[in-house]
Amino acid sequence: MGPPSAPPCRMCVPWKEVLLTASLLTFWNPPTTAQLTIESRPFNVAEGKEVLLLARNLPQNTLGFNWYKGERVDAKRLIVAYVIGTNQTTPGPAHSGRETVYSNASLLIQNVTQNDTGSYTIQAIKEDLVTEEATGRFRVYPELPKPSITSNNSNPVEDKDAVDFTCEPDIHSTTYLWWVNGQSLPVSPRLQLSNGNRTLTVLSVKRNDAGAYKCEIQNPVSANLSDPVILNVLYGPDVPTISPSNSNYRPGENLNLFCHAASNPTAQYSWFVNGTFQQSTQELFIPNITVNNSGSYMCQAHNSATGLNRTTVMMITVSGSAPGLSAVATVGIMIGVLARVALI
């Protein structure tokens, strides 16, 4: 399963509909002694969006109410005061111009910033001048940007190098996830997360670690995925193999040997016969061989990036008659020659 896309809107009910519903409930419900509470719609808010603080169970004999920023009543942090009988609204020192208060005591805050995160207190003033208070809260998160990955080494050498991937930018209260070739990060002692999961370290890289690495950032209101960074692991050459495996030939046959070694980048090949260099190709072809072509055939594979060399040797034996003449035919020819000599 591949990385998920950004989550859909978790709270899509228009605030005007919420206000209407709250007002109707206040009008229809009989008097109640339930405690005054505040409900945040939504609780997790995207920066630049709006949040509605719904006052629940407002006392029936309320003359007016005050909204404060914080967890207590503080005149210096008064947002707005409202008198129900006259619908009079009076902004306080903490009013930013983005707040709107409604007759059902709900407070709308538009174009929220991360500084708006925190607690909000409503103070209801009843006819007997007794007050009742309630505190609610919400949290503002940024709309996350498209992340990017930085790496200290995109072409590491197998079993030699370690690689650090870092997901940028560093954003507070953000979850960092990693994806490798479209799959979630596998569990391995060589894969280590640090720095709040922003940094992924691949220890002693292996060729199987090669591929596309992505990072994803998430918070409760948004998610975003980086473009892939390709890890190209340099490795090899492994011990080469020579094919075909046949080592016995007859005079007159063609000798065609092919050498291969797993390597990244592709290996460079050289052939040696009985210790003498022949050519720098992956394939060695010798037509119409003779017994003099018997001996050791060595293939050397070289990786210019890792600087490593690997060799393998095959012993080739050329013996017997040339192909096309069986032993019986050879004897027949010799008898015929001898008979002709005797007649002469």
Domains and CATH numbers, the chain: 15-141 (2.60.40.10), 148-231 (2.60.40.10), 241-318 (2.60.40.10)
Cite the DSSP H helix spans in the chain.
15-28, 327-343
pLDDT in tens, 321-341: 765 544 433 333 333 333 333
Closest CA to 142 of 200, 83, 62, 217: 217
Report whether pLDDT(4) > 80.
no
More confident call, 41 vs 334: 41
**Long-range contacts made by residues 25-28, C-beta under 8 angstroms, separation at least 24?**
26/58, 26/104
* pLDDT score at 321: 77
pLDDT in tens, 224-237: 999 999 999 999 99
Beta bridge partners, 215, equal 178
Report whether pLDDT(145) > 60.
yes
pLDDT in tens, 179-213: 999 999 999 999 999 999 999 999 999 999 999 99
Please tell me whether residue 20 adopts helix, strand or coil conformation.
helix
Closest CA to 219 of 174, 176, 179: 174
Mean pLDDT of 109-115: 96
Report whether pLDDT(104) > 70.
yes
What are the Cα distances from residue 170, in Å, to 117, 148, 165, 211, 277? 19, 11, 13, 24, 57
Instruction: Give Cβ neighbours of residue 237 (< 8 Å, ≥ 6 apart).
Output: 261, 262, 263, 267, 301, 302, 303, 308, 309, 310
Mean pLDDT of 249-268: 98
* pLDDT score at 263: 98
pLDDT band at 5 (very low <50, low <70, confident <90, very high): very low
- As a whole number, the mean pLDDT across the chain is 87
* pLDDT score at 133: 96
pLDDT band at 2 (very low <50, low <70, confident <90, very high): low
